[in-house]
Structure 1
Amino acid sequence: MEKVLQMASENGIVIFSKSTCCLSYTVQMLFQQLGTHPCIHDLDHDPEGKEVEKALMRMGCGGPVPAVFIDGNLVGSTNEVMSLHLSGTLLPMLGAHRAKLH
């Protein structure tokens, strides 16, 4: 769990994912379309990936991936992220992490 918290606190937006997960890909694309550059951590390429998955579940993430953190805080998995986006509350949470669009 320490690795998860460290990564989440060192980066503005962190998405724990798996390279073969379509839901992870969808969430990543949403964040990119919203003008952010999240730190993507593919658990299937991490030797400690299984332990990280277990830590995410213990932290309350609905599914092991994707797990989204913004400013060190667990936002949740796909359902939570999409609900925040549809309700209009995700964009304000991204604040300074959004690139200035010209």
Structure 2
Amino acid sequence: MNQAEFLRTITQYQHPLLDSIAVVLTFLGNEEFYFLLVPLVYWCFSKTAGFRLFYIFLLSVTVNAFLKITYAILRPIGVEGVQSIFISSAEVGSHYPYDSFPSGHAQGSTTL
């Protein structure tokens, strides 16, 4: 099964409730969430942990950008049968639409 077929299969299960859950989970992978989380850790828990978290995220973003440029895999936006919800967030990258891998959201969540 190739990528487009897999995405078509997943798209069949889309539902407004699941889309709402996806919006919340996507926010947990956004930069805005990290801009809230890192100061919270710094001020409320540990300054050392806050600085470490900041530097780890900075390293993660740098590695992610390098890998996106290296692999330059085309995003599946506009593929027939695949519904894309967050097209506007995909257009933020400087190499759009060639920046689908690795996922910044998945890598950020894993880094956290």
* Coarse TM-score class (shorter-chain normalised): under 0.3
Larger Rg: 2
Name the structure where strand makes up a greater proportion of residues. Answer: 1
Structure with the largest fraction of helix: 2
